Chains A and B, each alone.
Chain A
């Protein structure tokens, strides 16, 4: 069975290419997949009938006890033959049904075969979850098939309706299956059925949920409406999915569970009410349809009701009748749909009010249709007759009143079936005295009219009949003929289907026979007679139905429900998703205040003792932070805000130092310097003032939230130290750092060794941020070009800005003829000549020249000594960054290019590579990732050198930080300068006036 599934999968995957190459003839090749399933099952036939049950299993998710288990008992065997056989015939039909240049045939073939495979898996699966998975696969593939004409609104709507209804049922079924599996302690379907769990409320609920799945799939009331709508699918799909295969999945499920659960009262009620109701409603609605496919669709709904009623009724005899009916229905209904396809292809319409004389033109098709209709209405000696006889006989022998009631319902349903069956054949093939004109059946805007055919006047030409390929009639004819041939040997059916019926717990075994005594014959005759009468008065029936207004329409209710759902979704979205960042943040922070605040108030205790301060320096720095913070929050000028922020940062650095964290203090001072610099870089492009918020009222709200959050966070800070109850993780860090990491600076060793993984993550974040900055500025490129002095135009005046009133004063005093060759040596920095004269500062140039190399050396010192004293890769990278900033500020962007003629991306990548490489390298020496090694050597000049491999990791960190700094300088510095000078960037506009 697994092999067959693989065959289907391969065929589905190959289908687009196959049909692309062979055209529609590729369908013949595809038909081999389902045909192989049918042939394989037929080969097993005799053995399965003798009680052999082939099984296969493949462990799927072992830990969860889920297996892909398959089992071919009588019922599965029967379904496999139907699914495979009808599938192969319908695919062969497709080869001559679709026109050569029809759209999307490759995809259609692929999905169709995939569906056949899913169906095969569904009927043979022996694992509850596997069953569900295949069940949903059929739902999804049927969605794609119904929506085949995805450019048509009707198709899309029908597909959506089908998937919403069947998936809802499928999910209910999943819950039911899981409950049953847990309650029974097994996920094997066969074991569950053999030893069903004791009836309890839970089990009853689970069984009803499973039934809901079956009802949605088989289109029983109140879920029946999706099936007629699904007639928007191509006709072969209707023939296979909506007659033979998919809708039978629900029947299969009921037949599968009935032996174990049909004695539950809930089961009986659901099956009887839904089955009987659907049987009658479908038959009734079929009587007034004008579209041949809709006649069949409502007929199918009706027959599905009958099938569920029979296989779910619970006695052996009715079960046997139900299985026989299942087979008969697959044959005649698939055949009838295929016949409709032929008529549609031949005449271009399916409206019976436009068809006349088709039977004379297409006699073979009409004959196939007649044979199938005969089977459907139960004429002897056809399969439908045998099945219906068995059903009536089994119900006649029932002792209780329910049996009699069901008998009456089945009788009435059969009368309706006879009536719509005759109406179908009459509508499709008869020669009518008069037909309606095309204008009479559809209005100008495409809506169908309800004009009855009795309104027709002679003289209107019926639809012209063309002659499709004779091959088109073959599958329909074969299926119809099969209904006749098989019925001639009813005993064979008995032998094949009997074993499953025998698994039902109650009732005498039934029999399939062509003659069941005079009483049965009398009832059949009465049904046929009444049905024929009902057909004879079809006009009156149609008019009566039209007169009774459609009071309850589940279809309309469904659409209205979807509309309400959409409304609710829109309202909720509009209410919750305001699209305003301050509102979102405000909400989040309010929740934070309420949640954490209430926790603080209720479940924490204030510390018994507090220290007001550690020393006076702390108080002074704290006061500086507080004042500067308030000023930042109140500032209206951007620059003022940035500078005050620097004050906050430096003061915090001081607090770090007092707290015993020199590394933090160092890093903070460096970062704060750079932050202020970057803020200024960007803010010079923006308007000098923050915009004025028009809503002053919201300011008080913001203030309230801010104070609230501040209080809560302060409260947390107050209780957090004492809330630590466990031994700190870092207790052993000192020893680990010195012994294992080979360094005295525990913070640094923590970063590059003990928690190196974290650091790798953090420098990755830096890399992403740097790349993000570059992308936002360069937009379509990763980076810009490096500005080198030799590329600069002679008259380049970086940072020139507005006219320089003192230009004449800035020129050289004398020596106008000094050559360019000597000029280079006269400058302290290489690129200062690219600056506008007024932007130059000789003092700054000298300082930059003197400081740069010193700073680079200092940064290297920080990196190498970081292992034992404050410093490390982060601080070193920042110092290098500041050195570059100094060069940039002194000499402009060309000076930056001279100082660091590399692309930032290269530096970032190299850094991450070195850092990660250090970790990986350890693995080559058999250690785990990021294990450090300590090498101690004595060198001639340097003396005793202790080298720890994590130094290389620190080099990586250093490079990443330098890369980030370079990216910032190259984008927010150099590139913004270039744009300002070239006029690419527009000048700022004042958004809101300054106060």
Chain B
């Protein structure tokens, strides 16, 4: 069975990396958020590694007689590292685009959400449909309803069917 004794140093490193990552993640500046995500990525990668068991020899067949570290965890982390790079590039491109449009890379509050909040504060209906219109009455509605009917002919007596 594998050695599952946790390593305190790594646990502390993971905790600090996570805390730093989250702190930056909660910022509004996209560049800081990117930094936060990279820190978080490192933390999570280390955690997967730690969860894979204690340190061992590299998982290469025939290299050593000592117990190997878990290769599955490493395979997962390897792709995670590269994907973090892709994500970083994407977020940075967003950050650049935001700067191009707004001259800064701050994540703004959603405009539509703010509009809804304003409506709520004023107790206005959010849709301007007639469903919520209390002031309509049946007779008036009926009076304005007419079909696009055939005009018929004026003057002559009704044609026998």
Contact = CB atoms under 8 A, between A and B. Distances in A.
B150 interface: yes
* Top-5 shortest CB links A-B: A579-B113, A710-B19, A714-B15, A579-B110, A769-B86
Given A611-B6, A687-B104, A766-B82, 10 more contacts: A97-B147, A97-B149, A153-B129, A154-B141, A446-B144, A470-B159, A579-B112, A614-B7, A661-B59, A706-B22
A648 B14 CA distance: 12
Interface string B81-116: 111111111101111110110011111011111101
B96 A652 contact: no
A609 B51 contact: no
B19 A706 contact: yes
A194 B40 CA distance: 65
Contact of A571 (B88, B120, B151, B158): B120
A567 B116 contact: no
A671 B85 contact: yes
A629 interface: yes
Most buried by A among B8, B10, B140: B10
B89 A362 contact: no
Interface stretch (A516-524, A737-745, A846-854, A945-953): A737-745
Q: Is the interface of B mostly helix, strand, loop or mixed?
A: helix
Contact of A693 (B20, B28, B114, B119): B28
B46 to A, nearest CB: 7
Interface string B109-150: 111111011011101111101111110111111111111111
Interface stretch (A373-381, A484-492, A554-562, A803-811): A554-562
A346 B29 CA distance: 69
Interface string A658-676: 1111111001100100110
Interface stretch (A50-58, A197-205, A494-502, A715-723): A715-723
Q: Is the interface of A mostly helix, strand, loop or mixed?
A: helix
A345 B150 contact: yes
Sorting the interface of chain B by its residue count into under 10, 10 to 19, 20 to 34 or 35 or more gives 35 or more
Interface string A460-472: 0000101111111
Interface in A725-772: 728-730, 733-734, 737-738, 744-747, 750-751, 755, 758-759, 762, 765-766, 769-770, 772
B148 A102 contact: yes
Interface stretch (A287-295, A529-537, A787-795): A287-295
B134 A660 contact: no
Interface stretch (A249-257, A403-411, A617-625): A617-625
B147 to A, nearest CB: 5
Most buried by A among B5, B60, B117: B60
A365 interface: yes
Given A157-B130, A713-B15, A989 B103 contact: yes
Interface string B31-51: 110110011001101110111
Given A293-B142, A559-B131, A702-B26, A773 B90 contact: yes
Contact of B68 (A693, A724, A734): A734
Interface string A102-118: 11000000000000000
B71 A747 contact: yes
Given A229-B138, A567-B123, A738-B61, A762 B83 contact: yes
Contact of B51 (A580, A721, A976): A721
Given A344-B146, A750-B71, A645 B55 contact: no
Given A662-B58, A690-B31, A691-B29, A706 B20 contact: yes
Contact of A152 (B15, B24, B103, B145): B145
Contacts of A718: 6, 11
A658 B55 contact: yes
A868 B60 contact: yes
Interface stretch (A230-238, A507-515, A916-924): A230-238
Contact of B116 (A570, A660, A661): A570
B76 to A, nearest CB: 8
B68 A766 contact: no
Contacts of A567: 120, 123, 125
A747 B116 contact: no
B50 to A, nearest CB: 5
B9 A660 contact: no
A618 B9 contact: yes
A581 interface: yes
Given A686-B99, A777-B96, A663 B78 contact: yes
B159 A874 contact: no
B31 A364 contact: no
B28 A766 contact: no
Interface of B: 2, 4-29, 31-32, 34-35, 38-39, 42-43, 45-47, 49-51, 53-63, 68-75, 77-79, 81-90, 92-97, 99-100, 103-107, 109-114, 116-117, 119-121, 123-127, 129-134, 136-161
Contacts, number: 512
Nearest to A346: B152
Nearest to B3: A721
B85 A745 contact: no
A466 B154 contact: yes
A816 B114 CA distance: 65
Contacts of A446: 140, 143-144
A773 B127 CA distance: 37
Contacts of B63: 744
Interface string A123-157: 00000000000000000000000000100111111
30 contacts: A232-B141, A294-B139, A361-B157, A364-B160, A467-B159, A470-B160, A555-B138, A570-B119, A573-B116, A574-B116, A577-B110, A607-B4, A609-B5, A610-B6, A614-B9, A622-B10, A679-B34, A679-B88, A685-B96, A690-B27, A705-B22, A706-B22, A713-B47, A714-B14, A717-B10, A724-B2, A759-B79, A765-B83, A765-B86, A769-B86
Given A679-B92, A720-B50, A769 B58 contact: no
Contacts of A310: none
Contacts of B39: 629, 632, 645, 648
Contacts of B158: 361-365, 467, 470, 473
Interface stretch (A31-39, A64-72, A321-329, A964-972): A964-972
A772 B90 contact: yes
A222 interface: no
Contacts of B55: 614, 658-660
B148 to A, nearest CB: 4
Interface stretch (A429-437, A582-590, A933-941): A582-590
Contacts of A291: 139, 142-143
Interface string A155-176: 1111011000000000000000
A228 B138 contact: yes
B94 to A, nearest CB: 6
A566 B19 CA distance: 41
Interface in A302-351: 341, 344-346, 348, 350-351
A341 B57 CA distance: 90
Interface in A81-103: 96-103
A719 B47 CA distance: 11
A824 to B, nearest CB: 34
A121 interface: no
Contact of A682 (B14, B75, B95, B121): B95
Contacts of A772: 90, 93
Nearest to B56: A660
Given A348-B146, A350-B142, A589-B22, A717 B14 contact: yes
Nearest to A234: B147
Contact of A686 (B8, B22, B38, B95): B95
A667 B82 contact: yes
A641 B97 CA distance: 20
A776 B150 contact: no
Contacts of B59: 660-661, 733-734, 745-747
Contacts of B151: 99, 466
Nearest to A744: B61
Contacts of B145: 149, 152, 154-155, 231-232
